[in-house]
A = this chain, B = another copy of it.
C-alpha cells in the first residue's frame, strides 16, 4: 500500500470485482464502450512490468486464459486487446505508477445485453481510447455476474 497511489486506494474498496487471486484483482468500470472493458490490477504496489516476480507472472498467465475463455463464452468477444500503460501516473511528480492491465474485448457481432446494443464500429482496428458508453451500476453488475458464470 502506497499512501499516494490512487490505484492502491481503489484496491481497498474495489467496485464490480469479477475475480480476485493472491496477486491480482479484476474489475469492471462504468465505461462499456467495449462491453466488459476490465482492469486487471496487481494487488502489490509495483511500478513496472520489470518488477513483477515469478508468482505475479504465473497468476497473470492463468488470468489471461480464464478471461479470454470467459469473455468468449459470455459475450462472443474475440480477440481481447491487452494493454499495460500506466500513463496517467506520469502526469504529476512525484510519480506513483502501479501495474495494471487494460482489457478491451472486441466484437465482430455487436452483442445485445441488458436491452442495450454494444456495437464495436472499429472492429479489426485499434480501439478508440476516448470512446465512452457509461452504463448504470445495475447494468455493470449484470455484466459482472454474466462473466462470473464462466470464471
Interface set of A (CB-CB < 8 Å, partner B): 48-50, 52, 57, 61, 64-65, 68-69, 78-88, 90-91, 97, 106, 108, 123-127, 129-130
Contact = CB atoms under 8 A, between A and B. Distances in A.
Nearest to A124: B91
A82 B79 contact: no
B64 A90 contact: no
Contact of A87 (B48, B87, B106): B106
Contacts of A129: 126, 129
A127 B126 CA distance: 12
| Chain multiplicity (copies) | 2
Contacts of A80: 48
A124 B61 contact: no
A86 to B, nearest CB: 5
Contact of A124 (B50, B78, B87, B124): B87
19 contacts: A49-B82, A50-B65, A50-B69, A57-B61, A79-B85, A81-B84, A81-B87, A82-B83, A82-B85, A83-B83, A85-B126, A87-B106, A87-B124, A87-B126, A88-B124, A90-B108, A91-B125, A126-B130, A129-B129
